Amino acid sequence: MNKPLEIEVTYTANIARVKLRGRLDTPGVDRVEAKLNSAVVPEGRNTVVDLSEVSFIASMGLRMFIGLAKALKRNNAKMVLFAPQSQVNEVFNTVVLREIVPIVVDEAEAVRFAAT
């Protein structure tokens, strides 16, 4: 059936770049959430998340991102999401996520936003 959600984290200077591939549904979040948090929260790294290969998101995915953004904020760091695809963007619009978390078009803009 669907491939399990994959996560890849790379670091450049003070930015953590997170690449997700797959579906951010409950099984997907269960698979990656602990790894994602432990990769970026303890050191309070500014984090940009590439959603260009995420085909689907449900509320558990929203919960993961909002929880991560709160944890980073407590450590004086930011999370920026970029390149959401159609279903993901539609869900973000429905819950007005942009009022809580920055969402931009591409990685360059995300990095600029995270660094400001």
Contacts of 33 by beta carbon, 8 Å cutoff, 6+ apart? 64
How many residues form the binding site for other proteins (CB under 8 A)?
25
Q: According to the binding rule CB under 8 A, does residue 18 interact with other proteins?
A: no
Q: According to the binding rule CB under 8 A, does residue 73 interact with other proteins?
A: yes
- Please select the residue that binds other proteins; options are 12, 14, 38, 63, rule is CB under 8 A: 63
- Whole-number Å distance between alpha carbons of 104 and 84: 8
Residues 79-98 that bind other proteins (CB under 8 A): 87, 91, 94-96
Q: Which stretch binds other proteins (CB under 8 A): 7-15, 39-47, 53-61, 103-111?
A: 53-61
CA distances from 6 to 10, 19, 98, 101, 112 (A): 14, 8, 24, 22, 25
